[in-house]
Structure 1
Amino acid sequence: MKVIIIEDEKAAVRNLKALLQEVKPEVEVEATLDSIAAVLDWFAIHSMPDMIFMDIHLADGSAFEIFDHVDITCPIVFTTAYDEYALRAFKVNSVDYLLKPIGKSDIEKAFHKLEQLQGPEQGKSPDNALLQLIHSLKKQESYKTHFLIPVKGDKLLPVSVDMILLFYIQDCKVKVVLVDGKEHTFPQTLDEITECIDPSLFFRVNRQFLISREAIKDIDLWFNNRLSINLRCKVSDEKVLVSKARVQEFKDWFSKTH
């Protein structure tokens, strides 16, 4: 197996080489490259390796710039001291994202993941689990964080998601309630809103209500093992009930930390 290491810290290169020799002695390190420019020059005259270990912060910029110039088709293991680039890493051919300092078990797990993805045939496509993870991460990135709400006919009110307590349906219209208690008619359906807003922040308790944690004053145990949610602001004469089938899901959602 031929690999290249893209890393601008000499100590990190030495550590990685030693770990590769220990974990996978058959690995041949074809090159160690410390900059974007060096990587582009290398790929201009060399074929694709079997695997790349890539740091994100290089001497002349972000390693993600490389993908604007080179179509990298081999698996990539990112090695970095920063965790905020994990989502972006999954958009390219990443099989793992290792945080420094990197140890032997990290390298072992990375190769184990690669073997699972490739299966018995080299080059086999990633399995459903990874595809679902990538889909989930991309979807998470696309969740709306701001809305423009029509008000007074000729104006648009900019509203961030953290300003919203809940959405609900009244008289066949969708209403949004803000943290200041003000209500506005919302142009989208509740189904459309549910699809585009982060489900970790809002829960669809029933067909009529999509609520945030901050909207909840307290909760009553109701008949037939259901829950009745008391809102901080009264918006409807109807009780906000969580069905028996969704009670556990609601509890799990409410208790999650982010």
Structure 2
Amino acid sequence: MNILIIEDEDSAATQLTAMVAVHFEQVDFAPVIDNVEDARDFLAARPAIDLIFLDINLSDGLSFSIFKDMVIDTPIIFTTAYDQYAIQAFELNSIDYLLKPIRSEKLTQAIDKFKRLDSRQQMLPDLQSIEKVRMLINAAGTYKRNFLVPYKDKLIPLGVADIAWFELQHTLVRGMTHDKASYFMEEKSLEELGAILDPWEFYRANRQFLVSRKAIKEVQHYFNGRLYVHVLPAPPEKILISKAKAGHFKAWMRSR
């Protein structure tokens, strides 16, 4: 077993290493990584890693940004002190989501789950698991319902329900409302937005777009197994769902 721990707290990394080691007869740990940039560089080289333990809040930002422009097939067990990122974690190669301080019985359950899986197979999100987490988080009222967006020399209140889609434009995120008003958001990435919005109302279509269920008018089959999502207002570019995500997107559309 080759295991990578990405964690920015030395004590937490040391403790997790000791806890994990007892679950495997033979295990090698890669050097601990404590930031997003080094993690991206390390994983880009496609190292022989069987399992990743990934803290969400790292020293230079959210670890979700590691996955931007990069496909990682290695199974992941997320570790964090916060519960609001659970949905986004399940949408990646997540086996489990462990809250700190990590309890030994929860770690055992997560590793047992890993052992039952084929670690070479990239896992699609489990909608039933996401729904369970969504219900728990929604009960706590932690989903974003309103924004306060900068506009010229003012701040404009903007309801999440008013937004049709978010688009990444270079390093800025633009929100388009159903009545065609456009605002640049204070949030700097679609990953950050995805962590605070209800995943049953907004879907991460691709690297550039996060779309509202209400804005989707029809879905058209496109080249190479992709889907073309027609939304209103129409964005400047086609919103395409990859062949790999097409089945999950259709299941999402049928849900609720």
TM-score, scaled relative to structure 1: 0.48
Larger Rg: 1 or 2? 1
TM-score (norm 2): 0.49
Pick 1 or 2: higher relative contact order, CA cutoff 8 A, min separation 6: 2
